[in-house]
């Protein structure tokens, strides 16, 4: 069974996929869990990313990995396992790395103790589900693009330019997220937001 360590060796990892998403709900649930276990949320170390879960190349996640390797972190709290990764193998390799370094892992909403074989088996299932959900999201994105093209809303962008037409971006926003539009157009999120502001 997992035994909580000193507050300064506890880390909470939070992740959302895009900059237009909020992290408050994850932080609040983890904070509530900590308080219920007699720990001040301000006394632990927080790591927060606004990056995709498709790979592990995330600034805060890499900082967390270095802290674990250095022996500074002994417990990692996450809202759900898919915050670690949406790829099954990446998630399992990460979990194995943490466990091999004596790190306990707590999934707040899923209530999983990953220090035992049953917990690790259940974690593998959760990572597999997360990867399946990611595939479904990609299919939905492709369907949204196809629908936008069918309606004549999405026409792509001319080669060699990153200038966006505010009216086109506003119409695209009806079917796609800001992050999806940015990826389609090959521009930054800020560029999309600027175009949306001009369209209003």
Q: Which of 9, 17, 25, 107 is catalytic?
A: 17
Tell whether the torsion through CA atoms of 91, 121, 97 and 9 is positive or negative: positive
Q: Does residue 9 carry a catalytic annotation?
A: no
CB 18 within 8 A of CB 74: no
Instruction: Say if residue 22 is in the same domain as residue 54.
Output: yes
Express each pLDDT in 43-52 by its tens digit: 999 999 988 8
Kindly state the percentage of the chain with pLDDT values over 70: 70
The rounded mean pLDDT for the chain is 79
Q: Measured between alpha carbons, how far is 78 from 74 in angstroms, rounded to an integer?
A: 14
1 in a structural domain: no
Q: Which helix (H) or strand (E) covers residue 67, if one does?
A: helix 59-69
- What mean pLDDT do residues 76-87 have? 88
Instruction: Say if residue 108 is in the same domain as residue 169.
Output: no
Tell whether the torsion through CA atoms of 69, 74, 79 and 81 is positive or negative: positive
What pLDDT, on the 0 to 100 scale, is given for residue 64?
A: 96
Q: What confidence category does residue 32 fall into, taking pLDDT thresholds of 50, 70 and 90?
A: very high
Instruction: Say if residue 86 is in the same domain as residue 14.
Output: yes
Express each pLDDT in 143-163 by its tens digit: 666 666 667 665 554 443 356
What pLDDT, on the 0 to 100 scale, is given for residue 103?
A: 87
Express each pLDDT in 69-81 by its tens digit: 999 999 999 998 8
142 in a structural domain: no
CB 10 within 8 A of CB 4: yes
In the predicted structure, residue 134 carries a pLDDT above the cut 80: no
CATH number for 31: 3.40.50.1390
Q: Distance of alpha carbon 3 from its chain centroid, rounded? A: 26
In the predicted structure, residue 124 carries a pLDDT above the cut 80: no
In the predicted structure, residue 3 carries a pLDDT above the cut 70: no
What pLDDT, on the 0 to 100 scale, is given for residue 159?
A: 44
Q: Containing domain of residue 186, as a range?
A: 151-199
In the predicted structure, residue 1 carries a pLDDT above the cut 60: no
What pLDDT, on the 0 to 100 scale, is given for residue 142?
A: 59
> Structurally, how many domains does the chain consist of?
2
Instruction: Say if residue 102 is in the same domain as residue 183.
Output: no
Instruction: Say if residue 50 is in the same domain as residue 91.
Output: yes
Instruction: Say if residue 123 is in the same domain as residue 172.
Output: no
In the predicted structure, residue 136 carries a pLDDT above the cut 70: no
Instruction: Say if residue 81 is in the same domain as residue 166.
Output: no
């Amino acid at each position: 069974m997992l035994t909580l360590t000193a507050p300064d060796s506890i880390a909470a990892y939070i992740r959302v996929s895009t900059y237009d998403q909020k992290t408050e709900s994850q932080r609040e649930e983890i904070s509530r869990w900590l308080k219920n276990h007699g720990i001040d949320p301000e006394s632990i170390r927080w790591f927060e990313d606004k990056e995709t879960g498709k790979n592990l190349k995330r600034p805060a996640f890499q900082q967390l990995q270095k802290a674990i390797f250095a022996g500074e972190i002994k417990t990692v709290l996450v809202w759900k396992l898919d915050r670690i990764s949406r790829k099954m193998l990446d998630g399992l390799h990460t979990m194995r790395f943490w466990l091999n370094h004596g790190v306990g892992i707590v999934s707040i909403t899923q209530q999983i103790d990953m220090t035992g074989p049953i917990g690790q088996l259940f974690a593998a299932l959760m990572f597999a589900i997360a990867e399946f959900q990611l595939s479904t999201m990609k299919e939905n994105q492709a369907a949204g693009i196809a629908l936008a093209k069918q309606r004549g809303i999405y026409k792509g962008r001319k080669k060699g330019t990153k200038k966006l037409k505010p009216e086109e971006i506003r119409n695209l926003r009806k079917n796609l997220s800001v992050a999806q539009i940015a990826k389609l157009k090959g521009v930054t999120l800020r560029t999309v937001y600027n175009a949306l502001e001009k369209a209003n």
